[in-house]
Structure 1
């Protein structure tokens, strides 16, 4: 027991030390910043859906009101926290620590059962009905998921659930929600677009073939879908297709309102194309010069196996399939009686071989 109380004392001291550091470095809470960003993005999305006729003006106004209420609550909470005086904060922190120990000794014994999930879900459901603004996305997603059977054929339900799941970080569940929305309304571009985004998040930020197909389908249904243009631009930039990336980013910006929350992100992506393109050209020029040197070396000394591997690899980097095929044919002809050397060169050509500027 003595060890337990000593541990509690140490925890209290650590909490007070953290409070001192917090008082010195107070900032606007990250939660409030996130709430503002979510509010701006949500309102912009509501306005876009009203403009597209997906919802009527009264529904849009109701959703904007709910979002404003949530932001106001977050702002009030942030102001209350910022107004806390240092001495009051330390006293309150100590009281919380002592109270926590007392509560733990009363109900927190390891032998006490955890609160059943069903009971927590019931509490969340009551809050969703009376004060939904206080529910975090994870809890709201759990509440909404109870209505799956009753809304099995409601595309709006699945789209909304997908958005909540994505906010909660449930990317895989969000993708499944959007797949159901897409199946119910295959001509709704947002179902395709948001599905592609969810699949990109599931892929760790990389748009795979299925996500790319979803974005392309979204653009077929709505050529002004900024989300689809942005992600297709990201993939084009990663593939070195700079003209295509520039075209997609520009189209995304043209589809966004001047004050849209994600506009700076797209502008930054567009601005990054120039430096990336210049770096790629410099690398291409460097490799082209190395290729010319390697070709001369191999003509003088065709027994340079590492030189052949570097040459083949260089053509792969340049994307010159024709000249690579010609070089591989010349190499195969030279080593016609030594298949093991050919196999070794082809294997080495798939990886970096020594210094690419090195000659043998």
Structure 2
């Protein structure tokens, strides 16, 4: 036993050296440099996802789940704000504190989680477990997690234990186990916002990116305890988007953008999501007032009604959509029903059915501009990223322009279609009308003016 403690002391000394040496000398890299490097790596990962989709290596659902995970990591970079330089005196104080704190915590943790009398496993058994669990998961950490799980079986009312177990499972990407542990912590009355945020995230990622009623409630609880949490605010914008309220999604994300520091690493992809949501709703992002997700109405009624046994799993969402489709097949005169069905199919990724549903709505209400905008948006999404605008899409945009000559989207895309067809004079006419309605100080005005100036004559 003495040998064990001598080895433990040596390992503790080594860890202290690794921790203290950087504190006792001035660092060369700033926290902002490290954050910028991390964000650059994550953006490369997002680009790699797009390449895998194009190569057919990932399905759209797999790609979306991967994007969410990478974006979650970007949200985690710099979440607590930019680091401030630490003076030498403060570093010495911190170093002294660590010299006392690390050994004390190590002994305390081992006393709580360790089992000194447990015999070692045979090498071949340990190797088999390592291969089964994955080489990047330390067997020692896994053993500690298993030990904590066993202790909680005997002491199921330990809130902090369930919180620690849930976060540990989340770090290992064992999402269902993470959610189960964090549910138990919440049930016991946890007041830790991180518990609820991680619970919501685990449920969402386990469901392939679907923000269910349970996940939405978890994110709202996190915000009631910590109103500024960017992760919860981002996911609640996703919830609004998935429920078919793109304008509310933009409002929630604009609220997050407003409260984010200019150098916040999540701003670029947040703004990209806002642009996508605003385009689907046919509005300009800056025209939507920011709104906190805590006061937003989207999803609240659903969350209040839903009992624990009635959580909106992806299977239940598909069943509800099928039920609406059956109802409309019997009574096809409900315009709003067809619009809702189109939005639902779009959230599920079934663009052909979304197109057909919007086509029904347009036929029933031919003078409604927004319905045609939604229909055109689906037609463009179905085309992917074509070199030329699809004929069907251009035809619908021309119809919108006939109904609403001041519609900015129709003016731009009809002008773009004329440009692609070589009718430069008509392109200039449409874009000049659009330019007249833009703020001369805006970036959109400057960009469109440049495009007009670069148009060939004719």
TM-score relative to the length of structure 2? 0.35
Higher relative helix content: 1
TM-score relative to the length of structure 1? 0.43
